[in-house]
Amino acid sequence: VFISPEDDDNVVLIGNWIPFEAPEGGPNYFEWDSNIHYSLFVDNNGDAKPDITYTLSSRVEQATGLTFLYNTGPINNLTDADWNRKQFITVTETTADGTIVLIGNQPTAPVNIGEKSTPNYVGLMDAAIYDSSDGLPAGVKIYAGQTDDPFWVNLQVFDLLTLPGQDPPIGYQNYNVPVDSVSAFNVHSLVIEVPIARLKQGSEPVLGVWAASARKSSRVLNGLGGVLSGAG
């Protein structure tokens, strides 16, 4: 969460999901899960309860079942017929007054496969940024798709609590240089730029923001373990 570098009156909210997305991770590339709701919560009165909630849901449209490929040629725009597995997103804003749809079933950008499949990925990302020209409230911008993982973390800490760069035994004896374990990996990001005035309540200057995801409920059948254990 940070003040927009382009407009001091706006704040940017970002939630990241699906870590360790390798760019070459095909043929089944990464996408928003259509069975999950991804949400950003905003508390504007200090009671640790969401007063404003932004929720992303999605669906996938498979152009043809005759191929398993994500794309059959270069993806040059969000409606390109060569993009075989298009993803559409819906983003809502929920307050005490109810829920409004900010983005309704609109295409988002594909994953960044490479210069042959996505030759102008910046253009695809730009096309997937929705703002007031697309019917959003004034000052609101939304992007929901793949981005470079912005985090810096050395996961070697899980090697018996190792901190490279420190003297042994906390650090390593030999190669003792810290590394960014998520460098060159992508994530899926929900990015919302919104006027601060749209989020604030009265003169309260503090916003509490957190993210979560929720999977649709499913029925669990009783007794399956007993059936399986007696099947032999």
Q: What is the pLDDT of residues 11-24, one digit of tens each?
A: 999 999 999 999 88
- 106, 91 in Cβ contact below 8 A? no
Q: What is the pLDDT of residues 136-146, one digit of tens each?
A: 999 999 999 99
3-class SS of residue 89: strand
Altogether, the residues listed in the chain come to a count of: 232
> What distance in Å separates the CA atoms of residue 192 and residue 14, rounded to the nearest whole number?
6
> What distance in Å separates the CA atoms of residue 101 and residue 104, rounded to the nearest whole number?
6
Q: Which H or E element spans position 124?
A: helix 121-127
Name the stretches of the chain with pLDDT < 70: 223-232
pLDDT (0 to 100) of residue 230: 47
In the 8-state DSSP scheme, what is residue 83? B
Q: What is the pLDDT of residues 63-95, one digit of tens each?
A: 888 888 999 999 999 999 999 999 999 999 999
Residue 214 CA from chain centroid, whole number: 13
